Structure 1
């Protein structure tokens, strides 16, 4: 995307005032109308985000906090790598992605044509069948045994989401025991947020095609940043493993910038960049995006299902732009999915 890297660099330019150099972006950004919700306490959202990081990093709140300036050198190196698109761990564009994106956006693409594209990538084929039979996508007891069957049963919208998940899943698989729990939880959280965003878009009659993949990108940015931090720590501080307090700061500060880098590296259409930017920096009274609400609801439900502290339902409804009836519909699907996933893991 023309000018995209210069935009990223501009976020971190060292000749700007300190207040603009490394903005503390938030993951959970409710779009609050001052007339509709005048009493929203930002601390509510901050608490939910902190509880998410406690769960993802398997750490109590105290260990997520660090002394002022404790990690400045490491974070500065990470900032530089992001600003200059020099992340060694940034996943490169999957080879079949451009062809798949074109096929899925073309109304004339037939089932056989799409099936052929997928079958030409054996690794993608294996991942797709695994994902299609997972609780997040499989409906009923009948297993999906072929790509053609998956395309037929799931339809174009459903197979688009399965392809997104199948492409990202290998990138987020744990490389070693140290990151195993983190990778497992980030994947579950990402799928839940992506599914929530997609369901909200469908219920509200919006084009849901962008929301599932966009909802997965923050999760992929988390595993990318954690791995990049490990590289930086080894060269800058001699640490073999970044501590939870450092990971927490890095994820909080650079999650959206890294998501944008991923979208750019993969050549995703401009609408993906637009949705990510709208979720990161919602303007007052802007047309609301299901991505914000999907991440908030997905975060709340995955924490609740894991028996972690989360957020009362009334507060969720206050900071999202969906009705109680819509929330109930989305929550039922998400809970059924999480329960089925728990049984599969057991």
Structure 2
């Protein structure tokens, strides 16, 4: 994407330490016009983000805090790898992704052509059927037994999102017991945010598939950054695992930059970069973006369902661009998904 590398270099090459609460590093970024509400306390958003990291890292708030400059050496090396696109753990573009994106964007493609592309990749076929039958996608109690049936039942819009999730799922599967809980929670959080963004986009008459995949990218950036930190920590005498405070600092600083790198590595169209940038740096009076609201609602609901500290509903309504009725519609679907998922895991 023209200008992207120069932009990311300017963003990350400063000699000054990054500030976690700065707009360019915050995960939950309500559009500025919502935050202009005098009844809204910006600290509420910071608190929700802290609650999320406590849950993802299974750590109390005190364990997430680091002393000034404590991790600057490691974080500096991580920043250099991001700027120079040398993240060893950055997932490479899935082989079938370009063909699938072309087929999905071609009005002349039918479901048989799409099915044929998917079936040529046995691993993708298995993942797709698992994802299509998960609570996040399966309509009702009907089991989906074939790719052709999935395309027929879910439609092109639905299958786009299933394909996005099926492509990303293997990349986020835990490699060992040390990252198992983190990977499991990040995946659940990412899917919940992506589905929330998709539902909001549908309400607003926008392209649901763009927001679904964009909603998954921060979750994939989290597992990518954690694995990169593991590599860096192994080179430090006495360190085998990155502590929660280091992981927290890295994710807070570089979550959006890494999401942009993933979109670049996968040759995603410019509209994906635009949505990520709009979510990272909302401009005053910017057009409402489902991605910001989807991440806020998804984060709140996944924490609430996990019985973690979250955000009161009245505060959510102050910082999102949905009516109370629209919020209830989105929340009802997300709660049903989370409940069904809990029963599946039980």
Per-residue CA distance 1:191-246 (angstroms, 9 max, x = gap): 00000000001011122120000000000000000000010111145411000000
Per-residue CA distance 1:308-332 (angstroms, 9 max, x = gap): 0100000000010000000000000
CA, structure 1 residues 20+78, in 2 after alignment: closer, same or farther (shift >3 Å)? Answer: closer
Structure 1: distance between partners of 2:197 and 2:165: 14
Pick the aligned partner of 1:18 from 11, 16, 20: 16
User: Number of paired residues?
Assistant: 344
Look up the match of 1:335. Answer: 335
Look up the match of 2:303. Answer: 303
Matched, 1:207 2:204: no
Residues 276-315 of structure 1 correspond to what in structure 2 (within 5 A)?
A: 276-315=276-315
Shift of 1:38: 2.7
Structure 2: distance between partners of 1:130 and 1:333: 20
Structure 2: distance between partners of 1:5 and 1:36: 32
Look up the match of 2:320. Answer: 320
Contact 2:230 2:240 in 1 (8 A): yes
**SS of residue in 1 equivalent to 2:39:** coil
Contact 1:32 1:319 in 2 (8 A): no
TM-score (norm 2): 0.97
Shift of 1:2: 2.9
RMSD between aligned alpha carbons?
Answer: 1.5
Look up the match of 2:260. Answer: 260
Matched, 1:165 2:165: yes
Contact 1:82 1:258 in 2 (8 A): yes
CA, structure 1 residues 273+313, in 2 after alignment: closer, same or farther (shift >3 Å)? Answer: same
Residues 34-53 of structure 1 correspond to what in structure 2 (within 5 A)?
A: 37-53=37-53
Shift of 1:84: 0.6
**SS of residue in 2 equivalent to 1:67:** coil
CA, structure 1 residues 180+21, in 2 after alignment: closer, same or farther (shift >3 Å)? Answer: closer
Look up the match of 1:69. Answer: 69
Residues 126-145 of structure 1 correspond to what in structure 2 (within 5 A)?
A: 126-145=126-145
**SS of residue in 2 equivalent to 1:174:** coil
**SS of residue in 2 equivalent to 1:18:** coil
Structure 2: distance between partners of 1:274 and 1:321: 19
Shift of 1:283: 0.5
Structure 1: distance between partners of 2:194 and 2:209: 11
Structure 2: distance between partners of 1:122 and 1:20: 43
**What stretches of structure 1 of length at least 5 have no aligned partner?**
none
Structure 1: distance between partners of 2:247 and 2:90: 16
TM-score (norm 1): 0.97
Worse-superposed segment, 53-62 or 27-36: 27-36
Look up the match of 1:344. Answer: 344
Structure 2: distance between partners of 1:342 and 1:40: 33
Shift of 1:339: 0.2
Look up the match of 2:231. Answer: 231
Structure 2: distance between partners of 1:243 and 1:231: 13
Residues 95-244 of structure 1 correspond to what in structure 2 (within 5 A)?
A: 95-244=95-244
CA, structure 1 residues 192+281, in 2 after alignment: closer, same or farther (shift >3 Å)? Answer: same
**SS of residue in 2 equivalent to 1:33:** helix
Structure 2: distance between partners of 1:2 and 1:33: 29
Shift of 1:39: 3.1
Structure 2: distance between partners of 1:314 and 1:152: 40
